[in-house]
Amino acid sequence: MRTDLDTVFSALADPTRRQILTMLLEDDMAVTDVAEPFEMSLAAISKHLAILASAGLITQERHGRVKWCKLEPDALKSASVWMQGFGQFEPVNLDAFEAFLAQELVDGTD
């Protein structure tokens, strides 16, 4: 069973969907306006939008004949909290670690 976090990360895994989210940071947009900068069919964009909506990252509302997309930034909170948990660790300096291991190997052969 997929968790909400899995669904969010799966939705974010696609560069087209990340670009759509970036566009929606500016303002709500009609589906046709979302589709405009992409070289793909409206049906393909609609599939991307459906994935983003199922992950809770956007909502879609119909106003008359136009379907509007709105970013739901709170949906990213769980992913953000999860990623911040890794910030408690110091970044590993791989060069220093490699030098340490090399020295240990030299000292171990004496």
Q: Would you state the pLDDT for residue 20?
A: 97
pLDDT 10s digits, 57-74: 999 999 999 999 999 988
pLDDT by position in tens, the chain (length 110): 356 889 999 999 999 999 999 999 999 999 999 999 999 999 999 999 999 999 999 999 999 999 999 999 888 888 888 888 777 666 667 777 777 777 777 776 65
Domains and CATH numbers, the chain: 4-108 (1.10.10.10)
Query: Which pTM value belongs to this model?
Result: 0.75
Q: Is the distance from CB of 20 to CB of 60 less than 8 angstroms?
A: no
C-alpha closest to that of 58 among 28, 33, 15: 28
Q: Is the distance from CB of 57 to CB of 49 less than 8 angstroms?
A: no
Q: Residue with structure tokens 């976090």? A: 5
3-state helix, strand, coil in the chain (%, to 5): 65, 15, 25
Tell me how far the alpha carbon of residue 31 is from its chain's centroid.
20
Q: Would you state the pLDDT for residue 61?
A: 96
Q: Would you state the pLDDT for residue 38?
A: 97
67 bridge partner residues: 62
d(CA 31, CA 69): 7
